[in-house]
Structure 1
Amino acid sequence: MRFYIFLSLILLGAACKSGKTAQQTQANTPGQTLGSNTRTSSRPSGGSASDSRPLARPSSVLPNSTSAPAPAPPADWAVTSIKGKFLIIDSTSIRVYLNLTGLKPDGSPIKNADDLAAHFLVNYVIYPDYNSRDRLGYGNVPITSQVVVPNGEYLTLMFDVKRPSGAINGILLTEITETNNGKKALNDLPVRFRSTKLSDRYALFDKDGKLPLLRNYVNLKDTVVIRDVNGTVKPLYTFRYRHDFEAASSPMNTTTRPAPKTLTVDSSLVINTSQPFRMPSEGLYFFLEDSTETYGVGLVVADNRFPKLTRPEKLVKPVLYMSTSTEINELNNTKEVKKAFDRYWLNLMSGNEDIARRAIRAYFNRVEDANRLFTTYKEGWKTDKGMIYVVLGPPDRVQRSRDREVWVYNRRANVSEINFTFNRKPNQFVEDHYELVRYMEYQPIWYPIVEAWRTGAIRE
């Protein structure tokens, strides 16, 4: 009986995260660099869209040892997160979708266009690339109920941008300025005005085909639509892969990466764009206009609790980042997964159930956030970004160019500053596949933080 009571509390802690916690992280927004201009923005990028860094339980600056007190509500109105995506309309223009979250001075969320319009101005500038200050174009976006629509936890801002003369691509910098104090929330979004890629013309929308989801995963129960701006109806060849992708290797693992594995198609079907559909089973799905193409749109279909993990057989997997090889083997090879999972945490915490509960809650909150932010063709916690996020938490600052992100952490393991560099790599399923540049020199930082997890010192 003791075991089942303890495990149920673990699962509840891992599965149920309050809105207050998510709001806390959103309120702490690290800076980010575009060229030489450092600015406040949102979370590290995750999903097929570009993020203005940490903002959706992604990027609060949380301590490594004790739980952080809830921050005070902002003194003024504030946009706390921006996540963006563009779709090509035709050869002359693109449509931009920005999912926003924001807070009023009393800490409650901004929920409608009228509140946004009363306190903010929106404008944009198009630059040739991250290293240029030359303007290709600019404009203002009037905030009305036609362009700002409630979208669950977000407000979705939609506006069209004309292609600058002769431009093939660029960097769209959107500024949302609080009119009382002049503070800006910014989003930098690489855009293309000419592209044959399916993902530049089609995106995942809600079941009504009106609001973009801006993520690479759905749940089994979800009815969704893949569509372009014009509502074109056409068949897409759809392939399903049932594959358990490996988790990221250690930041100190500098050995050559193995050659990519060939995935075997499990099943196939045809879906029509602009028409609602629901996937029949979990797995990685790949949508193509032509079955001979290489690049398309990838989509992870997960169980209905994802990005939370609640099944014991899934909960045991992410702890590999803080485990010894012996512990991993025991968890992976046991026939009694629930008991092994329970025993693992109790042993680490010297039998202290209260410390174990808090450590589990903190760890799996980060796993959930990593899934929400960084899921690509595999679950977010398995990606290189997800691994760093789970162990170290959100970065204090993010610097980004078109094909690189640098996460900067201050004051970790008695080190004044540590950087993790992620390079964007081509991937047929998603646009935002990044790989960590690994160094042996991470050992003095990494191991003390892992040890803090193993002793229960990290209890957010």
Structure 2
Amino acid sequence: MRQRHIAALLLLLLTASTLYAAPRRDFATQYRPERRIAVDTRREGDSLRVYLRFPNRSLLRRGFPLHVVGWADFDARKPLWRDTVRQLARRLRSDGDAARVSFTLPLSRLRNGAVLSMAIGPAEEAASGDAAWLRLTPDYLTRNFILTDSVGQPLLRRYLQAREVFGVAAYGPDQELSAYRYPLSSLAAAPPMSGPGALGPQPRTLSAQDSARFRADQLLRLPAGLYLLRVGTGPRAGLLVEENQFPALTTADELIAPLIYVTTSAERQKLFDAPEPKKAVDLFWLGVANNSQPAARLLIRTFYGRVAEASQLFSAHKAGWLTDRGMLYLVLGPPESVSRVGAEERWVYRGDAQRGGTFIFRAKPSTFAPNNYELVRRPEYESLWYAAVEQWRKGRTAPPGR
């Protein structure tokens, strides 16, 4: 009998521990635009309002609440606290195929550097890498405004098209908005095996080109540039404003620029100098595809689709495809698995012996890019990188993630 009691107690302890001691989380979903839950916040007095956008209503589990969990870090095994959002059905708003919801949390429960996870479904889903995850940086804890579209819907992104109509929804009435414009960067990331200084000397600071003031409640249009926005005397936040249909690519120059990762400078210059650069780009891909038009169309769709997705995911201080994570996403595809430990993020590509590997990124936040990560470059990445580039050069796209 005593052995039965001991066995039952052990089973109870094991069951309870599985709710908290989750296995190593895989955050690869955070880099799948069709599944990634967008998050933003606004400080409202002694509360923090959290905004979520689910890309597809199929991600909403009917009959389940929205679970919110606080963690010490991304790899924590036990939560600091758990909560649920009440009256979820009343809060949910349709947005085409997507859905939105917002709710508030008391600031007394939140601390700088901690992490939130959120999901609609069974409690364990909020502890998985598929949930919405957010590091509570000073930007997210103190910023007293969010960006909205022309009808007041939260944008939940830090980039705009030039002259796109948008608004700034500030907490509190009669607020003044200050906008400081800085030059855009077109500097692409250095290859993964590059040594220090591969990109040459970089300025430590940027000087504002101009500034303007507006009412925080008026609709705005801004010319292209990198901006810092500030409402009243609150904290500043970065905003990227790009030309044309960003993140889509529409001009010849926009189509040629990302080829920097898979072509030589002479090849790109030949495309720029062509009488009809767009036609020259098509002919370039047709040549890569051994004159097979279906294969060329697939290459174009895959390559430029990844450019646009990288810009959706990683744009901040510059277009997302120019960043370290954007470079790998474009050439190697979405990572097959992602782990986060402290200030590090590891991307794993399994592939074969030539194309498999693990890349390590380290957090390097800034005012313009609070979620920026830089790749830890290593000479041993050279063979993996050139093998991936060769796949593009031979008309065989690098294998995508899961």
Instruction: Identify whether the pair has TM-score above 0.5, normalized to the shorter chain.
Output: yes
2:229 to 263, 284, 287: 287
Q: Secondary structure of 1:203's partner?
A: strand
Deviations 1:103-161 (A, max 9, x none): 64xxxxx7xxxxx4734332122123345455443211135344211234531121111
1:429 to 368, 377, 393: 368
TM-score between the two structures when normalised by the length of structure 1: 0.72
Q: Secondary structure of 1:277's partner?
A: coil
Indicate yes or no: 2:368 matched with 1:453: no
Query: Which protein is bigger by CA-based radius of gyration?
Result: 2
Aligned-partner Cα distance in 2 for 1:336–1:286: 37
Deviation at 1:36, TM superposition (A): 6.6
Aligned-partner Cα distance in 2 for 1:173–1:166: 13
Aligned-partner Cα distance in 1 for 2:141–2:164: 22
Q: Look up the match of 1:7.
A: none
Q: Percent identity, aligned pairs only? A: 30
Report which of the two has the higher share of strand. Answer: 1
Q: Look up the match of 1:30.
A: none
Indicate yes or no: 2:159 matched with 1:173: no
Q: Is the 8 A contact 2:40 2:50 kept in 1?
A: yes
RMSD: 3.3
Aligned-partner Cα distance in 2 for 1:442–1:251: 6
Deviations 1:403-442 (A, max 9, x none): 3221111215645x41111112132212112111111111
Q: Secondary structure of 1:456's partner?
A: coil
2:105 to 161, 166, 183: 161
Indicate yes or no: 2:247 matched with 1:307: yes
Q: Secondary structure of 2:346's partner?
A: strand
Aligned-partner Cα distance in 1 for 2:45–2:28: 30
Paired residue type of 2:230: L
Q: Secondary structure of 1:301's partner?
A: strand
Aligned-partner Cα distance in 1 for 2:105–2:142: 18
* Greater RCO structure (CA 8 Å; 6+ sep): 1
Deviation at 1:378, TM superposition (A): 1.0
Deviation at 1:232, TM superposition (A): 3.9
Q: Secondary structure of 1:316's partner?
A: helix
- Alpha carbons of 1:117 and 1:215: their partners in 2 closer, same or farther (altered >3 Å)? same
- Alpha carbons of 1:442 and 1:299: their partners in 2 closer, same or farther (altered >3 Å)? same
Report which of the two has the higher share of helix. Answer: 2
Q: Secondary structure of 1:81's partner?
A: coil
Q: Is the 8 A contact 1:413 1:449 kept in 2?
A: no
- Alpha carbons of 1:153 and 1:226: their partners in 2 closer, same or farther (altered >3 Å)? farther
Aligned-partner Cα distance in 1 for 2:127–2:345: 24
Deviation at 1:175, TM superposition (A): 3.4
Aligned-partner Cα distance in 1 for 2:86–2:109: 23
Q: Look up the match of 1:341.
A: 281
Aligned-partner Cα distance in 1 for 2:126–2:312: 31
Aligned-partner Cα distance in 1 for 2:178–2:251: 32
Indicate yes or no: 2:24 matched with 1:38: yes
Deviation at 1:384, TM superposition (A): 0.8
Q: Secondary structure of 1:118's partner?
A: coil
TM-score between the two structures when normalised by the length of structure 2: 0.82
2:68 to 105, 119, 124: 124
Paired residue type of 1:85: D
Runs of 4+ in 1 over 6 A off after TM superposition: 181-184, 196-199
Aligned-partner Cα distance in 1 for 2:140–2:82: 25
Aligned-partner Cα distance in 2 for 1:198–1:224: 23
Paired residue type of 1:81: R
Q: Secondary structure of 2:37's partner?
A: strand
Aligned-partner Cα distance in 2 for 1:350–1:420: 32
2:179 to 238, 241, 257: 238
Deviates most, 369-378 or 330-339: 330-339
Deviation at 1:167, TM superposition (A): 4.3
**Structure 1 runs not aligned, ≥5 long:** 1-33, 44-52, 58-79, 105-109, 111-115
Paired residue type of 1:88: R
Q: Is the 8 A contact 2:51 2:103 kept in 1?
A: yes
1:186 to 89, 111, 131: 131
1:204 to 147, 156, 171: 147
